[in-house]
Each structure stands twice: as C-alpha cells, then as structure tokens.
Structure 1
Amino acid sequence: MIEDIVKLKERGLTLQEIAEQMNMSIGKVQYRWNKYRQQQSPPSEIFAPPVEIKKDKWSMPYEYKEANACLIPHTHESLYVYWSFSNSIKNMAEHHFRTKWEELPNVLKLYDVTDIIFYGHNAHRTFEVDLPPMTNNWFIHCLEPDRTYIADIGTRTFDGSFFTLLRSNPAETSAAEMSDTYDEKLERWKHQEVTQPEWLENFSTYSYYQKIR
C-alpha cells in the first residue's frame, strides 16, 4: 500500500487527492506517508553542531535531542502518551511566563483529527486534562474506536488559555477486535521484553502545524 502512495506522490498528487483515489481516509494516508518519510530520514542524535576537539580538549554538545511527545494506540477506546522536554523548551517557558518550570501547570490537550489535514485549530473536538506535577506519561480513556488523535503537552497562560509546548504524532484507536493485540504489545514493552513499542512511530513535533503536501 505504501508503494502506491509513494508512486502517486511522485506524480505530484496531494495527500488529499491520494486518499480520494485510493478510497482511504486522509488520516490513514498521512500516517503511512509520514511513517515512510521517517524510515527514509532517521532523526539526528542532537540539535547542536558536532563536538569540536581542539588541543586535546573537548566540550559537551549544547543540547541533546530530548524534546519528544509520542502517542501510542492502547485499546479501541484508549491511547497512551509519553513525553520529555529539552532544556531549551523549559528555559523558553520560564522566560515567557516569568515562572519557574516546576511551578507551571501541566496540561494535556487531545485533538480528534480524523480524516482532516490538521492546522492546529480545526479538530472535530478537543478536551484538556490537568496533569499532576512532574508527570511525563498518561493513559487517555473513553475515546471513540477507529478515530485519529493528536496530543499536545503544554501549560496555561495567565488568563487560563492552553499553551502548546510539544505536539505528538497522530495515532489511531483500533477497532474493538484489535484491542487485545495492542494490549499485548504495550505490556511487552512495559516489561522490557522489547526495547521500544513495536508499532512506535516518531514524527516531528511541529509538522502538523503546516499543510502537508
């Protein structure tokens, strides 16, 4: 299936046109296309330039690639998300809000983006969850099966509005008959039988702010 998507993309078709031609949802086409692109371009290990070695001296890289939010299918009505912040994001938030990082509210915002190209504000529906301090993972329950979601991890402005700091990859809740398979895989990963979730896909944090072509 991905071979057909790649061929149509090379002919200049947009993802929306490919979805219509292949009789698929735009969410599923986006998922497979981004999975293909991720496999073709492995992420670099750090943001900073390579370490310079001069006169037997060396310096640590300025920043490791820590910023990440990953959304994982769990069951037909739940998802699992985990995340980490880089020091630059923490410093930016502290400077912007003039508040220590540990004192900023932690908030998760979930978007239902099924069959749409997501621009950041055009989801079918959204909801927010206030998280306990120092949380870095969360299970999201009571979702609809066979829908596509994206999660933001952020904080609140002084007027109570949500402020995005990280954005996850899109993930789909499975059909009911698929839930046992996802449960098995997540349990294997949690008990370190595999090094990472077998269906884990990583995407650029900010890639879904822009129109995908």
Structure 2
Amino acid sequence: MELPRHYNENRLVLMVQEPTVIFSYWELSRGQWEFLGEGRPLFLRLYTTGSNQVGTVLKEVSLPPFTNDWYFRDVLPEHTYQAELGYYGPEGEFYPLLRSNQVVTPRTRTVEGMARFLKVKTVIRGDADEDTVENQGESTAFWEGYSSVDLPHKG
C-alpha cells in the first residue's frame, strides 16, 4: 500500500531538530490554494514567545514556489517558538493562513541527570546471517542521526 502524497488538509508543523535548528512543514488543502489564486507569494514567520505568550517575529521567509518545508537555523536554545504561514494583502497587511504548534528548543549544555544527544552512525545490514560489514558487499547501508543517552545520576 502506497501512502498518498497529500492529505488535502491545512496543517503547519514545527519540529525541533537540534537546540539551534527547527524544521517546519506544511500542507494547504485544494480549497485553500483556490482561495489564494495563482502567483500569490507565501511567507513563513517564526515567532519567539515569552512568558506573557505575546509573540515577537524573529524571522520571516519569502517562500520559493512549490516549497512545503523550511529549516530555521541559528535559533536560540531554551526558547519557545511558533510559526505562521500567510500572505500580504494589497495594503501591506499580513494575513495568516495557518498557525503551528509551539515547540521549545532544548538547552545546549549538559545538566546532571538529564538526557543529551549524540551523533551516531549505524550500520544497517542487508543479510541477517552476515556478521561483518566487509561480507555484506553492496547491501550495506548507513544511517546517521541523533540519539539520546541518559547521563548517570550522581547522588
């Protein structure tokens, strides 16, 4: 069974990738695209929110056509973020179409008893009977990403 390319939903999602990187993706329904019409540029805004929940625009991106994801780099650790996808009207006013979930970026320093993230490289074996990478030939693949590791608690 093949997954559909689109779900015909209006959705904007933020995901923390690293303490200083946030990934966003979105989908607009067919009806939303029809409302917008052709050629209207979309903008993605990233807000940082404080304890009073008032958002301050941190970054704004004019999106290239046919874009449905974006990375925000160099964001601050230990901050709360939210995004909006929208367009500008003829008088220069911003009209938001979608608002994302809120995310909190983790701290960059290690704290006793907390989890930290390490970059790992994993061998994906093509044949369960093979014991070594050398014996696997072209069926060997590698995955790189981040994995959490619990720090020992000193008590």
Task: Provide the aligned length of Structure 1 versus Structure 2.
Answer: 110
Q: Deviations over 1:11-33 (max 9, x none)?
A: xxxxxxxxxxxxxxxxxxxxxxx
**Match among 180, 199, 204 for residue 117 of structure 2:** 180
- 1:107 counterpart residue number: 43
Higher helix share: 1
**Match among 19, 23, 31 for residue 76 of structure 1:** 19
Alpha-carbon distance in structure 1 between the residues aligned to 2:46 and 2:36: 21
Alpha-carbon distance in structure 2 between the residues aligned to 1:154 and 1:174: 27
Alpha-carbon distance in structure 2 between the residues aligned to 1:145 and 1:167: 21
**Match among 132, 136, 144 for residue 64 of structure 2:** 132
Alpha-carbon distance in structure 1 between the residues aligned to 2:49 and 2:21: 15
Q: What root-mean-square deviation, in Å, do the aligned CA atoms of Structure 1 and Structure 2 show?
A: 2.3
Structure (1 or 2) with the larger CA radius of gyration: 2
Q: Which amino acid aligns with 1:113?
A: T
Alpha-carbon distance in structure 1 between the residues aligned to 2:12 and 2:85: 8
Alpha-carbon distance in structure 1 between the residues aligned to 2:23 and 2:67: 13
Q: Deviations over 1:66-103 (max 9, x none)?
A: 21111000111110000000112122223xxxxx2xx1
Checking the alignment, whether the CA contact within 8 Å between 1:113 and 1:123 is kept in structure 2 is: yes
Residue identity (%): 28
Counterpart of 2:55 in 1: which secondary structure? coil
Q: CA deviation at 1:146?
A: 0.5
Higher strand share: 2
Q: CA deviation at 1:179?
A: 7.2
Please give the TM-score of this superposition, normalised by the length of structure 1. Answer: 0.46
Alpha-carbon distance in structure 2 between the residues aligned to 1:139 and 1:161: 25
Note the residue ranges of structure 1 that are not aligned, 5 or more in a row.
Answer: 1-63, 95-99, 185-192, 194-213
**Match among 52, 58, 72 for residue 116 of structure 1:** 52
- 1:17 counterpart residue number: none
